[in-house]
Amino acid sequence: MTDRLHTFHGGIHPEEHKTLSTTHPIAQAPIPARLIVPVRQHIGEPARPCVSIGEKVRKGQIIAQADGYVSLPAHAPTSGIVTAIAPHPVPHPSGLSDLCIHIEPDGQDIWIEHSASDYQSMHPSTLRNLLRDMGIAGLGGAVFPTFAKLNPGKAVKIPTLLLNGGECEPWITCDDMVMRERADDILRGAAIMRHLLQSDEILVGIEDNKPQAIAAMRTAAQQSDIPVRIISIPTLYPSGGAKQLIKIITGREVPSGGRSTDIGVATFNVGTALAVHRAVNLGEPMVSRVVTVTGNVGQAQNFDVMIGTPMQDLIALTGLPPEPVSGVIMGGPMMGIKITDLHAPAVKATNCILVKSGTMFPSPPPAMECIRCTRCAEVCPAELQPQALYWFARSKHFDKAREYALFDCIECGCCSYVCPSHIPLVQYYRFAKSEIAATEANERASNLARQRHDARTARLEREARERAERLAQKSAAKPAGDEAKQAAIDAAIARAQTQKTTSE
Ligand code: SF4
Ligand code: SF4
């Protein structure tokens, strides 16, 4: 059956550079001399360390506990000794350090006791708790805790489970290689996800520049007993964006400010499905992931990497770079983040380490004034007006930027890519979003402080009134006429109120 596909607005065709890293199978990266495990690798509250310096840990052991509902634990990626719990450079757009648990591996890679779970017989909330305890986060980039996304809530079921094998960003091939080599396990994970979401169907969207992945997934689908369709979609950046993939495959649009589940679709990266399989069917928490190391390197390749491996160790595995290194990006050239310290570790969000040279990535010419050509709007997959957003962000008219749906911007970079004035548009949108987020955080803090003050004032007033009433009742206990009693009560209340006013 041929699937009827739909299109999304805009999009671009950047050079792919994907074949560089798909000539070799996924290799196992060796255990490094030191592992650095950040406590904050997911959306939500950071995990709380629960080990001490000098403690021996085993592979898969929880070393930091989840702290709150939207949070995940961190696990030891191998056996060894905790040598420090201290800030360390991490891959983050701010370039700042964050709290990390440092482990010196013992080289033996000894697991904690772990075993498979029979998910079919488990209560859904028990199964979700298992996935939380296993530290499973979305590997498509957002690293949102997967267990929370696998809760259909009041909807009871999410009819469509959509696996995202788009991987549309240039240079990155980890999903492609995982689909080629581990297709059966991806579908085993999808079966678990479907069980939790009670989905009627599983769809897998893959760009047609990955014919081997499509073939491997189709073979696995034929052998699987779950209702799954592998759908080849045209190669067009950013078809791997969740909203864009949903539009291409189902024709439905996620409403502005809404979620895909509002229209009955739950989307997950193919790597996340693989991680769910390993967690449930093998009992293995998320202690590793596949990472593409490519660009200006000796031999680009995908590696199965322990979380916490320093990026410089991974780059070293690919041999000498042919040209002088001019920088490193985590992710791809369109949406990735600059890495300023190669001691930073690979984390759950690390899909690619892209090493740059001046030839491969020449510096952009200086930005010029916007000439209102509207080319940015023509390619914007979110159907925004990037030039207007740019003006509002630049002039700090954040309310207007919000009115023009700034938060629907997926930061895909299509607008910057085509801008003839070379304006780094996405940087302006990120700036505006972070300013709005900071203002909202301040407002929340002052609202909380105001609520606390109001509650305290109300409590003091109530206590004063109760005291006054008690005093008045005592005085009223003496024989006296009704008028005298009331006068005594009024006088006591007035005294109490005077005391309160002078004490404030
Ligand atoms: S593409 Fe660049 S120059 Fe053209 S309207 Fe957009 S921001 Fe302005
Ligand atoms: S970065 Fe934002 S504004 Fe620019 S094309 Fe992508 S979605 Fe549109």
pLDDT for 503:
42
Domain assignment present for residue 229? The answer is yes
Atom nearest to 414 CA in ligand 2: 5
Mean pLDDT of 389-411: 97
pLDDT for 2:
67
**Residue finishing a domain among 235, 259, 284:** 284
pLDDT for 93:
85
pLDDT for 95:
85
User: Which two tokens mark 494?
Assistant: 């007035």
Closest residue CA from atom 3 of ligand 2: 386
Are both 150 and 244 inside the same structural domain? Answer: yes
Whole-prediction pTM: 0.88
Q: State if residue 432 touches ligand 2 by the CB under 6 angstroms criterion.
A: no
CATH of residue 479's domain is 1.10.1060
Which of 284, 275, 287, 285 minimizes the C-alpha distance to 185?
275
Report which bound ligand comes closest to the CA of 369.
1
Distance from first CA to last CA of the chain, Å, rounded? 77
Closest residue CA from atom 7 of ligand 1: 387
pLDDT for 494:
65
pLDDT for 501:
46
- To 5 degrees, how large is the angle CA 152–CA 158–CA 163? 110
Residue 124 three-state SS: helix
Give yes or no for a contact between 206 and 18, defined as CB atoms under 8 angstroms apart.
no
Give yes or no for a contact between 391 and 330, defined as CB atoms under 8 angstroms apart.
no
Q: Is the pLDDT of residue 485 over 80?
A: no
pLDDT in tens, 77-120: 999 999 999 999 999 988 889 999 999 999 999 999 999 999 99
Distance 408 CA to ligand 2 centre (A): 9
Beta strand spans in 90-199 (E): 97-105, 160-165
pLDDT in tens, 192-230: 999 999 999 999 999 999 999 999 999 999 999 999 999
Domain assignment present for residue 158? The answer is yes
Atom nearest to 368 CA in ligand 1: 3
CATH of residue 315's domain is 3.10.20.600
Q: CA 148, CA 137: separation in Å to the nearest integer?
A: 10
**Residue finishing a domain among 324, 357, 390:** 357
Q: Which residues contact 60 (CB under 8 A, 6 or more apart)?
A: 75, 76, 111, 112, 114, 284, 285, 287
Distance 333 CA to ligand 1 centre (A): 20
**Residue finishing a domain among 357, 387, 408:** 357
pLDDT in tens, 273-283: 999 999 999 99
Task: Give the Å distances, CA to CA, from 450 to 263, 377, 443, 457, 504.
Answer: 38, 43, 10, 11, 16
Atom nearest to 425 CA in ligand 1: 7
CB-CB neighbours of 435 under 10 Å: 14
Q: Which domain holds residue 301?
A: 290-357
Q: Is the pLDDT of residue 480 over 60?
A: no
Task: Please state, for a pLDDT cut of 90, what percent of the chain lies above it.
Answer: 83
User: Residues near ligand 1 with C-beta < 6 Å?
Assistant: 370-376, 386-387, 390, 419-421, 423
Mean pLDDT of 139-167: 93
pLDDT for 42:
93
Q: Is the pLDDT of residue 462 over 60?
A: yes
CATH of residue 157's domain is 3.40.50.11540
Q: CA 438, CA 435: separation in Å to the nearest integer?
A: 5
Report which bound ligand comes closest to the CA of 415.
2
pLDDT in tens, 169-188: 999 999 999 999 999 999 99
Q: CA 438, CA 431: separation in Å to the nearest integer?
A: 11
Distance 371 CA to ligand 1 centre (A): 6
Distance 93 CA to ligand 1 centre (A): 25
Task: Please state, for a pLDDT cut of 70, what percent of the chain lies above it.
Answer: 94
According to DSSP, residue 261 is labeled G
Number of folded domains that form the chain = 3
Distance 302 CA to ligand 2 centre (A): 29
Q: Is the pLDDT of residue 482 over 90?
A: no
Q: State if residue 472 touches ligand 2 by the CB under 6 angstroms criterion.
A: no
